[in-house]
């Protein structure tokens, strides 16, 4: 929940100054607050940047004041939507089952969901990190994971704290996710991309992306600074 029209325009101006081929070498998606999506879409139209929402309702339409449906996002040229972010789970009580229902609604509207999973510091310290993550994944599998879905592993203890899971810790969890998905859904698991999200920054992106099972990043605070975000995208080339 950051930004104003002026700051959005300044950020997009900075992002548009990058090499014109940069954003087409990998899927590069901006997920602004809902009110700013149309303006971001206008400014990003010629850059190769794609659009996504930060959340959507599990309902298609109706008397749900304040909600935004997946179809509304698609109507604003969004291709993606982030679902189950740890902040949605923590502050708004979103359950694993609700996230799965939202994912189904997103797919029905033609959106590709970025589905977030991750553990707290207490859960990791207790040795339950993989159990927590696989329980979150199990609800998504029950809801019908598809090859175009993306899983974003975000250790909650590393979000906005300046702490980052080491490349070894991140790869260990990503490998566990990939192995578990193979056991559950077979070959489809190979197509599902796994992103790391947890204080991804310009100075650690290349090392994280070099890990075998890390296919990209879900970028938080660093996405608010054009130079930092450009450097992270550049790291995908390396």
Question: Annotated catalytic, 9?
Answer: no
Query: What confidence score (pLDDT) does residue 69 get?
Result: 98
Query: What confidence score (pLDDT) does residue 161 get?
Result: 72
Active-site choice (58, 87, 94, 154): 154
Question: Annotated catalytic, 146?
Answer: no
Beta strands 80-83 and 216-217: pairing type? unpaired
Active-site choice (85, 87, 94, 119): 85
Query: What confidence score (pLDDT) does residue 159 get?
Result: 76
Query: What confidence score (pLDDT) does residue 121 get?
Result: 86
Q: Residue 71's closest CA among 119, 128, 109, 126?
A: 109
pLDDT in tens, the chain (238 residues): 999 999 999 999 999 999 889 998 899 999 999 999 999 999 999 999 999 999 999 999 999 999 999 999 999 999 999 999 999 999 999 999 999 999 999 999 999 999 999 998 889 889 999 999 999 999 999 999 999 999 999 998 887 676 778 899 999 999 999 999 999 999 999 999 999 998 899 999 999 999 999 999 999 999 999 999 999 999 998 7
Query: What confidence score (pLDDT) does residue 165 get?
Result: 81
């Amino acid at each position: 929940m950051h930004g104003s029209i002026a700051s959005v325009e300044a950020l997009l101006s900075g992002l548009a100054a990058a090499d014109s081929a940069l954003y087409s070498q990998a899927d590069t998606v901006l997920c602004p607050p809902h009110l700013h999506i149309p303006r971001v879409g206008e400014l990003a139209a010629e850059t190769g940047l794609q659009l996504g929402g930060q959340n959507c309702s599990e309902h298609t339409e109706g008397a749900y004041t304040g909600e935004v449906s997946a179809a509304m996002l698609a109507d604003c040229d969004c291709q993606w939507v982030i679902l189950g972010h740890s902040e949605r789970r923590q502050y708004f009580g979103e359950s694993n089952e609700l996230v799965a229902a939202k994912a189904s609604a997103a797919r029905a509207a033609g959106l590709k969901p970025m589905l977030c999973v991750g553990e707290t510091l207490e859960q990791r310290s207790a040795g339950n990190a993989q159990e927590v993550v696989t329980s979150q994944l199990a609800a998504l599998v029950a809801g019908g994971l598809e090859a175009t879905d993306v899983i974003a592993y975000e250790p909650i203890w590393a979000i906005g704290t300046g702490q980052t899971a080491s490349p070894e810790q991140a790869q260990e969890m990503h490998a566990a996710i990939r192995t578990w998905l193979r056991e559950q859904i077979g070959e489809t698991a190979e197509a599902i991309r796994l992103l790391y999200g947890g204080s991804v920054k310009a100075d650690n992106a290349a090392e994280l992306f070099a890990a075998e099972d890390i296919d990209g990043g879900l970028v938080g605070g660093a996405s608010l600074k054009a130079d930092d975000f450009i450097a992270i995208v550049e790291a995908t080339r390396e």
